[in-house]
Amino acid sequence: MRLGVHPDVQVGGEALPGGVGPREEEEPQEVAEVGPGGAVAEEEELKEDKGQPGEEVKEEGEAAAGPEHIPHHLPVHLRHQAAAPPVEVRGHEELPPKGLAGEDLEARTPQEEGGVGDAGDGREVLPSGGAEAGHPAPTIALVRRLAPWQWLLLLLALSVALVEGFRLWLGLVWAERVALLLLALTLWAFINGRFVFAYYHALLTSWRTQDLPLWPEPKGEHLLLLAPHPDDEVLAAAGLIQRTLQAGGRVSVVYLTSGDAFDLAAGGPLPSKAAMRRLALRRMVEARRGMEALGVGRESLYFLGFPDQGLFPLFTTHYYLPYESPYTGLRAVAYPGCYRVGLPYTGKALEETLLALFRALRPSRILLPSPLDAHRDHQATAYFGMQAAAALGLEDRLLYYLIHGGYQYPLPKGLHPRLPLYPPPRGRGLPWHRFPLTPEEVALKEKAIRAHRSQVRLLGRFLLAFVRRNELFSPLPIPARLPPEEEGWAVLEGGEVF
């Protein structure tokens, strides 16, 4: 995989590589928000949604990959597409795509619902090295939404399970019913830390964290945080962000996606693609409000706008062939307020954008997800971040966090601000360091999390479980020495066989 480099541009009077130009403030724009029931949300909910100060993009476009970069095993027409010359990429000075700046998306035709148009309709934002006349760029949807017939089968299966469960319940004697209810109550109390399990969790979490070394206090450093989705930054490091600012440092946050693949948060199990795109705009507003609660200004937030649930395909199968999101229908960055509107959904474009940001921002500390995270978007963020940092020689500045750390992590669920956060099961063997928080910092972390209202409404008990008296960070992405079975070795009768 070859690392691309953007042409040089001027940044603050100094020539820097990476295509990052001076940031210009945009005029505020209101975004119409449609809630779960289809009604327009309160005007004050989204009236602060100003366009994200963007970077100027050179009109000449990106340098096209030469024939030597194209795999020889591709079919002739795909090789022809990959070698096609790039097209111009629209910057923030142009109008955003139709349907993303507040107009009624529900009233649009299916052809317009894609946001950037369909191949050949004249409205399309063509990605670099993408389709040309007569040859639309192929896309492979690795992540599929449930079709209506699949939802019907799921509801039918649930109905059968409920009927069978009720029939079995009627066949139980009263003692068995009481025992079953007590078992369910015990499981609920264990997961949520109620009754005697509150003391159990307090003792267990304290024992797991008491010997962890402390992470040193930040001293005027520039912290750059990579967040796969809006809300990951506050879950992982709201306390560290506050302490860095208090010490006179600087904080920048890069959101790789805008969280446009959470069906239920968009209003139901089968939302339209237009509703999913409106969800992305709403989550960008929530991210700004959460960061403002911690003292981070909008000028320090960078929304890249790549597809939610699609980062892993970008790193693997769609490194230079554009990916189409099955949730939004988009094949290029299209949300107003994003860092570079018009970039294609390819791993190459994402990687070059991270390289440009790393060069321009010059962070002294880069906080990113661990590749051991269970979420594929978090894994891909770790891979992209580590690869970009390695290309610039910044490996010693990387620091890792873990959100999806295993089944039901962290326990107990819900708000327990006096409990410590213990190392996640998936992070077993990592050199975890704990970062203690003051009660004031814990309270502000809770406020920042609650700013993500679309997520708290559905996942509140999971999100609030990260409001603890400490945060956890690891200087290594994986354990220094993996168990043999995780390194590709099989242990047979005391001998190791590759």
Is residue 21 predicted with pLDDT exceeding 50? no
* CA 388/CA 392 separation, integer angstroms: 7
Which residue, among 203, 198, 244, 197, has the nearest Cα to 225 in the 3D structure? 244
CA dihedral 463, 465, 469, 475 (to 10 degrees): -70
> What pLDDT is attached to residue 388?
97
Alpha carbon distance 362, 360 (integer Å): 6
How far is 130 from 470, CA to CA, in rounded Å?
47
Of all helices (H) and strands (E), which one includes residue 366?
Answer: strand 365-369
CA 381 distance to own-chain centroid: 8
Residue 127, Cβ neighbours under 10 Å: how many? 27
Instruction: Give the pLDDT confidence of 61-79 residue by residue, as tens digits.
Output: 333 344 444 444 444 444 4
**Per-residue pLDDT, 269:** 78
Cis preceding-peptide flag for 412 (omega within 30 of 0)? yes
Considering only residues 140 and 235, tell me which one the structure prediction assigns the higher pLDDT: 235
Q: Band of the pLDDT at 146, cuts 50, 70, 90?
A: low
Q: Which of 66-75, 96-105, 415-424 has the largest mean confidence?
A: 415-424
Q: What is the pLDDT of residue 168?
A: 85
Q: Flag whether pLDDT at 434 surpasses 90.
A: yes
Phi first, then psi: give them for residue 460, nearest 5 degrees: -55, -45
Instruction: Catalogue the long-range contacts made by 267-270 (C-beta closer than 8 Å, 24 or more residues apart).
Output: 267/34, 267/35, 267/36, 267/37, 267/38, 268/36, 269/146, 269/151, 270/146, 270/148, 270/151
Considering only CA atoms, give the Rg of the chain.
Answer: 24
Q: What does the pLDDT read at residue 48? A: 46
- As given in the structure block, the two tokens for residue 241 are 């962000």
Angle formed by the axes of helices 376-391 and 347-361, nearest 10°: 50
Token pair 């992540």 is found at 143
- The DSSP letter of residue 476 is S
Q: What is the DSSP letter of 398?
A: E
Please compute the mean of the pLDDT values over residues 156-167 and round it to a whole number. Answer: 87
Are the C-beta atoms of residues 52 and 339 closer than 8 Å to each other? Answer: yes
Question: Residue 173: which pLDDT band, with cuts at 50, 70 and 90?
Answer: confident
Q: What is the pLDDT of residues 180-211, one digit of tens each?
A: 899 999 999 989 988 889 888 899 999 999 99
Tell me which H or E stretch contains 388: helix 376-391
Nearest residue to 382 (alpha-carbon basis) of 359, 397, 396, 399: 399
Q: What is the DSSP letter of 477?
A: S
- For 311-337, what is the mean pLDDT? 97
What pLDDT does residue 289 have?
98
Closest by CA to 425, choosing from 233, 208, 215, is 208
Q: Any idea where the domains of the chain sit in the sequence?
A: 207-486
What six digits make up the tokens of 160?
């059968």
Flag whether pLDDT at 253 surpasses 50: yes
Q: What integer best gives the mean pLDDT of the chain?
A: 77
Q: Are strands 14-16 and 9-11 parallel, antiparallel or unpaired?
A: antiparallel
Angle between helix axes 439-450 and 273-294 (nearest 10 degrees) is 160
Cis peptide before 216 (omega within 30 of 0): no
Mean pLDDT of 66-95: 41
Measure the CA–CA gap between 94 and 428, rounded to whole angstroms. Answer: 48
Q: What is the pLDDT of residue 306?
A: 98
Q: What is the mean pLDDT of residues 83-109?
A: 38
pLDDT attached to residue 229: 98
- Position 313 pLDDT exceeds 70: yes
Determine the 3-state secondary structure of 215 from DSSP.
coil
Average pLDDT over residues 267-272: 84
pLDDT band at 154; cut points 50, 70, 90: confident
- Crossing angle (nearest 10°) for helices 232-246 and 273-294: 20
**Helices 174-192 and 196-209 sit at what angle, rounded to 10 degrees?**
40
Give the integer Cα–Cα distance in Å for 435 and 470: 5
Strand duo 9-11 + 433-436: pairing: unpaired
Provide CB contacts within 8 A for 112, sequence distance 6+: 98, 99
For domain 207-486, the CATH superfamily is LmbE-like (3.40.50.10320)
Cα separation of 347 and 351, whole Å?
Answer: 6
Contact 62, 89 (CB under 8 A): yes
Give 352-410 pLDDT, tens digit per residue: 999 999 999 999 999 999 999 999 999 999 999 999 999 999 999 999 999 999 988 99
**pLDDT confidence of 32, banded at 50, 70, 90?**
very low
pLDDT at 485: 54
**Residue 145: band (very low, low, confident or very high) from pLDDT cuts 50, 70, 90:** low
Take residue 355 and report the two structure tokens written for it.
């390289």
End-to-end CA distance of the chain: 27
Lowest mean pLDDT among 26-35, 239-248, 321-330: 26-35
The β-bridge partners of 368 are: 400
